[in-house]
Amino acid sequence: MSLLVQKFGGTSVGNAARIQAVARRVRDCREAGHDVVVVVSAMGSTTDELAALAQELSSAPSSPHHDQLLSTGELVSTAALALALAELGVAAQPVSGPDAGILTDGVHGRARIVHVDPAPLTRWIKQGVVPIVAGFQGAAATGGALTTLARGGSDTTGVALAAALAADACEIYTDVDGVFTSDPRHVANARMIETIGYEDMAEMVTGGARVLAQSAVEYAAANRVPVHVRSSLKPEPGTMVGTESPREGAPGQDVVGLAHQKGQWRCRIPDVGEEALPAVFGTLTGTSVPLDLVRVDADNSLLFTVQADDRLEIEAALAELRESSDIGADEWTGPFGKVSLVGRGIGSHPEVLPGVLGVLRARGIAVQGIAIHPRRLALLCQEEDLMPAVLALHAAFLEKGVEPAPELAPALGGTSRWLSTDGSAPVLDSPVLDSPVLDSPVLESPVLDAEPRNGEVKNPA
């Protein structure tokens, strides 16, 4: 008998009718012969409402009391789903994160999972009971205090439990049909991706795709957990995220998708000498904030971009660092938009960057910054130019059977040819386009562990 971990997001358990639909899905899975462990998020916007309440009541950014309050949303969902399953004759047990054996590093508000003890859930499974685990929470490995994970932590909870239990797969149920070549709410011609490798999925999430949490993808890759992203509202096949399968296409190039983010702010810290760089980077990486488009200019200025929601955390960390060092004041500009083209070999393919710059230049879109990764090409632009950039690049690189618009011909060197296999991405027969000198460094993405799963849970941190 196979074992599946099924994680249902806040929209999937947003009201009584949807909770009943989830219960029917779990029952059907059991009747098909599978053992099931369920992970649930808080209902709808409950977490946002609880966070707003905490902000009204306390000036502290995070504390044990914050975690106690925020964790209640998931506990409500576990009890509600247990009631719905009982009505269908399915024995179920609500389980908090700590009671499920989830241990964290103890950092309040943004804890990381460091270990999962499979014994508590295994006991329920052997008794024929469906454990319903509260996502987004665990107990500190030292001291046992309740801690909440970073946003998206319920995805990570599901993947971590699947790894610890050696489950056959972790199914992530959400309000979209799967992973798309771009956000289908903004790009009408976006199409669903049937299979995608861990590395490409990680880069899509880094670029702004919100279908999975970054930490969940990293955890899945480190432990070789197959992840199935599916809709809880439709009977769609969804997207399988797993080990990379061979694809047809041009040697060294395989465009998989395009992600984007609004609300990017660029931070500049002037005159950061070589001696100060370790302290500055240590401070920045000590936060929970992902940095992108990082570079050091010739005048020793350090530049990077963050999401608007993360700016306050970075400002606070740098202010604390200045109390013990003489680094300059941070300067902020924005908001910008960021668009990321993702795929195998994008960073090294000689025709991709010129082609991208040509498409944007033909649309009159100025590029404010570039970061080149082995699997992701990220570009910064004015926020009002973001969606025109997304639509133009998706049409040029990801829409099958679409010829470039006539006005793009000069920018593309006058000619273009499409891949002979499936037509999913262009190879440009153009000379290197005139463009400003780019002094951004090549930023290497972390190499994800490629060892096969062996039952041992690995923390990607």
Question: Distance between CA 353 and CA 345 in Å, rounded?
Answer: 12
pLDDT score for 400:
61
Residue with tokens 């309000």: 175
Tens digit of each residue's pLDDT (9 = 90 or more) over 115-136: 999 999 999 999 999 999 999 9
343 known member of a binding site:
no
248 known member of a binding site:
no
b/e map 88-120, b = 16+ CB within 10 Å: eebebbbbbbbebbbbbbbebbbbbbbebebeb
The per-residue DSSP string of 84-138 comes to HHHHTT--EEEE-TGGGTEEE---TTSB-EEEE--HHHHHHHHTT-EEEEESSEE
For residue 67, how far is the Cα from the chain centroid? Answer: 22
Kindly tell me the sign of the dihedral angle through the C-alpha atoms of 109, 112, 114, 117: positive
Ramachandran assignment for 410, one of left (phi > 0), alpha (psi -120 to 50 degrees), beta (any other): alpha
pLDDT score for 347:
79
b/e map 381-400, b = 16+ CB within 10 Å: bebebbbebbbbbbbbbbbe
200 known member of a binding site:
no
Tens digit of each residue's pLDDT (9 = 90 or more) over 262-308: 999 999 999 898 888 999 999 998 887 889 999 898 888 999 999 99
pLDDT score for 275:
85
**398: Cβ–Cβ under 8 A, 6 or more apart, which residues?**
181, 182, 190, 191, 255, 257, 258, 424, 425
10 known member of a binding site:
yes
Domains of the chain, earliest start first? 3-174 (3.40.1160.10), 255-398 (3.30.2130.10)
112 known member of a binding site:
no
Say what the pTM is. 0.83
The letter for the amino acid at 437 is V
122 known member of a binding site:
no
pLDDT score for 81:
98
Question: Distance between CA 208 and CA 145 in Å, rounded?
Answer: 32
74 known member of a binding site:
yes
Query: What count of other Cβ atoms lies within 10 Å of the Cβ of residue 48?
Result: 12
**Helix, strand or coil for residue 335?**
strand
For the record, the structure tokens of 406 come out as: 């006539």
The letter for the amino acid at 371 is A
Residues of the chain with pLDDT under 50: 246, 248-252, 402-455
pLDDT score for 298:
87
174 known member of a binding site:
yes
**61: Cβ–Cβ under 8 A, 6 or more apart, which residues?**
109, 313, 316
For the record, the structure tokens of 203 come out as: 């880069």
Residue with tokens 């804890």: 111
185 known member of a binding site:
yes
Question: Distance between CA 299 and CA 53 in Å, rounded?
Answer: 45
Radius of gyration of the chain from its Cα atoms, rounded to whole angstroms: 23
**48: Cβ–Cβ under 8 A, 6 or more apart, which residues?**
none
